[in-house]
Amino acid sequence: MSECKVVLLSDRAVVRVTGEAARNFLQGLITNHIDQAKPGSAIHTGLLTPQGKILVDFFVLPDGDGFLLELAKAKLADLVQRLTVYKLRTQVAFAEEPSFRVAASWGSTPRLPEGAIAFADPRLPELGLRILLPANADISGLGCALASEDEYHARRIALGVPEGGRDYTFGDAFPHEAMFDQLNGVDFKKGCFVGQEVVSRMEHRGTARKRIVGIEGEAPLPPSGTEIVAGSTPIGTLSSVAGSSGLALLRLDRAEEAKAAGTPLRAGEVTVTIRIPAWARFKTPAPAAT
C-alpha cells in the first residue's frame, strides 16, 4: 500500500444530533437510509428543498445515543436553522460539536489517537478515510505525511468526485447532477424524504441531462466559473480545477451533439475533453433535439 497521507480540512465542521427521536427525525428528511449508518460506517446524504435541489450534503455517523453530521463549515448555521424548522415538537436537539476537527487520509492506515473516529469515505473507496480528530490531538501523531488541502482536492478531482460549494451551488443543483445516484448518496427504496418525488421521477424517467464530470485540458485550465462552449454554444461551467484537470457541470446531451458534429469543446482558450469516471454507471443522454 502507498504511503499514508493526511490533511486537515479547514472548511469542514461537525454537528451533533441527539434525542430519542433523532433516528426517525433524520430518516424522514435525508436522501439516504439512516439504517445504513452504523458505528464506524457513515453514509453520504443530503437535505433537499421540496423542489428536489440540494440545500446541504453531509456524512452521517452514529455516535452514542445520537449522530454526528460532517459537513461544509459554511453551511453549518443553515443546516441547524433548517433542522429547527422541521423539528416542531420532535424530541431532538442539534448543535455544533467543536470538540472535533475534520481530516482526510489515504494510502496506508493511520494511527488514530484516543477519541478519534475514522470511517471510510462512503462515496468512493479510493477517497480513503474521513477522520473526526479530537481538537487537541496532534495530527502529526497519525504517522502520516502531511498533505495540503490543494493536494487533497487534486486527488478528489482526479477521481471525479464533486463537492458541494465547489462544484455545484447549494440550492441550485439536483442530486443526479451532483452524482448522488452514482456516489451512494440516495436510497431510492427508502420511502419519503424532502424532495423525494422530484428525485424519484428524475431517476425513473432518466431526465438528468446535466452532470458533473471530469474535464481534461490540452493546457492548464482557466479559473473555476469559466464557461465551457461547443463552438459558440454554452454547454456548461468549469468548477474545481487542478492544473489541466478539472470538474465541470455539463449538459451531456449538448456535449454528445457536439461530439457527433466534430465540434471541439473549449474552456476559455483551452480545448478540453470529457472524462467520465470509471466508477460512473449512467446512460449518456441522447443529443438534444434540434
Can you give the pLDDT at residue 59? 98
144 and 213 both lie in a single domain: no
156 to each of 30, 149, 153, 161, 259, how far by Cα in Å?
Answer: 24, 10, 5, 6, 26
12 and 123 both lie in a single domain: yes
Examine residue 183 and state whether it is found in any structural domain, yes or no.
Answer: no
Position 100: which residue type? F
The residue range of the domain holding 225 is 209-275
Average pLDDT (97-108) is: 97
pLDDT digits (tens, 9 = 90+) for 104-136: 999 999 999 999 999 999 999 999 999 999 999
- Residue 249 and residue 240 in contact, taking contact as beta carbons nearer than 8 Å: no
In the listed set 107, 124, 152, which residue is the last one of a domain according to the structure? Answer: 152
CA-to-CA distance for 139 and 101, rounded, in angstroms?
Answer: 10
143 and 232 both lie in a single domain: no
What is the number of domains present in the chain? Answer: 2
Considering the entire predicted model, what is its pTM?
A: 0.95
CA-to-CA distance for 247 and 270, rounded, in angstroms?
Answer: 14
Report the CATH number that the domain containing residue 103 is assigned in CATH.
3.30.1360.120
Can you give the pLDDT at residue 283? 72
Can you give the pLDDT at residue 112? 96
Examine residue 180 and state whether it is found in any structural domain, yes or no.
Answer: no
215 and 142 both lie in a single domain: no
Report the CATH number that the domain containing residue 226 is assigned in CATH.
2.40.30.110
Can you give the pLDDT at residue 2? 75
131 and 10 both lie in a single domain: yes
Closest to 31 in 3D by CA, of 224, 165, 164: 164
Examine residue 157 and state whether it is found in any structural domain, yes or no.
Answer: no
118 and 240 both lie in a single domain: no
Confidence of residue 206 (pLDDT cuts 50, 70, 90): confident
Examine the pLDDT at 199 and tell me if it is beyond 90.
Answer: yes
138 and 40 both lie in a single domain: yes
10 and 127 both lie in a single domain: yes
Average pLDDT (58-85) is: 96
Examine the pLDDT at 222 and tell me if it is beyond 80.
Answer: yes
- Residue 167 and residue 249 in contact, taking contact as beta carbons nearer than 8 Å: yes
Examine residue 199 and state whether it is found in any structural domain, yes or no.
Answer: no
Can you give the pLDDT at residue 207? 78
Average pLDDT (9-38) is: 97
